[in-house]
Amino acid sequence: MKIALAQLNYHIGNFSSNVQKIINSIQKAEQAGADLVVFAELAISGYPPRDFLEFDDFINRCNLALNEITSHCKRIGAIVGLPTFNQGKKGKPLYNSAAFIADGQVKKYIHKSLLPNYDIFDEYRYFEPNKTFEIIEFQDRKIALTICEDLWNVQDNPLYTVNPMDELMPMNPDLIINIAASPFNYHQIEIRTEILRRNAEKYKIPLFYVNHVGAQTELIFDGGSLVMSAKGQVVDELHYFEEDLKIFELDDICNPEDIKIKDNKPVIGMIHNALVMGIRNYFQKLGFQKAIIGLSGGIDSAMTAALAAEALGHENVYNILMPSEFSSEHSVNDAIKLAENLKMPYDVISIAEAYDTLENTLKPHFKNLPFNIAEENIQARIRGVLLMALSNKFGYILLNTSNKSEVAVGYSTLYGDMNGGLSVLGDVYKTQVFELAHYINREKEIIPFHIISKPPSAELRPNQKDTDSLPEYDILDEILYQYIENRLGPKEIIALGFDENLVKRILKLVNMSEYKRYQTPPILRVSSKAFGMGRRMPIVGKYLS
């Protein structure tokens, strides 16, 4: 039996596009001699549809789309994911389902059993878990059809009291098919592969795995669909960060002669590819083409511009340089050199006149108090106003340039440099931003060396440096990583060797800045714990603040 894995970039709620992609893949697989073609979890709706699932019309459209797909499966079988109504009288109104199609009709629905309800996942909000286990039969083969999380209860700390494959094994399946929506983070590839390997080795049958690819707002799906032998060997895998379709002969997977050795993928390269795809898909799926960026001459805006130029085309990234009396000459020159290196359009708009006007307007109300953060933030907000005005006038999307280190401790200005339609670096620590810069410059100098080598500064007061307010970034980022990603408390972090007063100050800054993060644009997620939908904290909480 020949099985095709179709790894596609779906668009949530765009039924015509999703259906056409699925049908095109069915036809391509059929022409290439495949007997069965497999699509990802919730392929018809896109993932995650979130509260669209509360609309009966949305579910009805999914089912109409399934009918259209079914009509193209008269000589080939297909497995495709979609939400379906729960016809029972009790439980959640929907199932997360896989439709098995053959001979021009839906032969069977298999429902997802294990519904993740952690981090970015909230499937139990919408779906009823399956409690009845059955296999599907096709061309004299028995298939254990599972949906994403159904294979994940083999971890060392299982979250569920049931394991779907344990329930299916007494029926003697010949293979496992798993359709998934597994978002990217820079640890996920290794974790995911290990989970799949544990299943193949435990049940001693080959495994076919299909993942989404593409970005859905802040979530990025890396693809990496694969086939695995009964011994847990990765026989082959599909491309990362792009659509792909491959056909495999089941007998070859059962008795593989050639094993594909997985290349070591540099973490920073995967982050780079994820961010580029995240920007590109955000614009494509919203129907926009052009971005605008406030280019300061610092590394964060330089990195954002370089990623955007790669994602959208250099001609579609408009850069605005907005110097003030505190801006150094080299920052302006650095920004211009970057724009010229990438052949991006740019303009220079001084904020001096606007700042003087506002300063004079506020002077009688500031009661002769000394220059402080108020005047610093005025500068950032003037820049925000200018960028949003140009965005409104010409239909650009403003890209936010704040990195995760700044976002974590609130080292940014609401309604100023925190403006934007999308945060590109909000899940990338400052130390990782420097790594990304070196990665982009791996073949030639794109980001000017001086931007990378100079001490970071907001340049909002004379001789300002980031280290005036924050520790060195290698120390700050490690403390933040232990708190945010690893969820360690202050005593545990101090025990790692960090200064007690510094740890307490940093954690206090993180928790006190929650109100700012609540107002940030969507942040492209590349870590295992990003700010946004996967990290839910109370604004008025007192813990560590």
What is the sign, positive or negative, of the torsion defined by CA atoms of 378, 380, 383, 384?
A: negative
The answer to whether residues 144 and 168 touch, using CB atoms and an 8 Å cutoff, is: yes
Q: Is 12 helix (H, G, I), strand (E, B) or coil?
A: coil
Smallest Cα–Cα separation from 416: which of 449, 373, 474, 365?
373
Of 148, 149, 237, 406, the active-site residue reads: 148
Is residue 112 annotated as a catalytic residue, yes or no?
yes
Is residue 148 annotated as a catalytic residue, yes or no?
yes
What span, in angstroms and rounded, lies between the C-alpha atoms of 19 and 67?
Answer: 10
Smallest Cα–Cα separation from 516: which of 535, 534, 539?
539
Tokens of 136: 């599907």
DSSP single-letter state for residue 121: -
Smallest Cα–Cα separation from 202: which of 248, 159, 136, 153?
153
The answer to whether residues 511 and 106 touch, using CB atoms and an 8 Å cutoff, is: no
For residue 538, whether the previous peptide bond is cis, meaning omega lies within 30 degrees of 0, is: no
Antiparallel, parallel or unpaired: β 291-294 and 244-249: unpaired
What span, in angstroms and rounded, lies between the C-alpha atoms of 37 and 79?
Answer: 6
Helix (H) or strand (E) segment spanning residue 216: strand 213-216
Of 21, 30, 41, 430, the active-site residue reads: 41
Is residue 492 annotated as a catalytic residue, yes or no?
no
What span, in angstroms and rounded, lies between the C-alpha atoms of 308 and 424?
Answer: 9
Smallest Cα–Cα separation from 483: which of 418, 543, 524, 443?
543
Helix (H) or strand (E) segment spanning residue 231: none
Question: In this structure, which amino acid lies at residue 234?
Answer: V
Antiparallel, parallel or unpaired: β 219-222 and 213-216: antiparallel
Of 2, 21, 112, 404, the active-site residue reads: 112
What span, in angstroms and rounded, lies between the C-alpha atoms of 442 and 462?
Answer: 34
CB within 8 Å of 542: residues ≥ 6 apart? none
What is the sign, positive or negative, of the torsion defined by CA atoms of 506, 507, 508, 510?
A: positive
Active site residues: 41, 112, 148
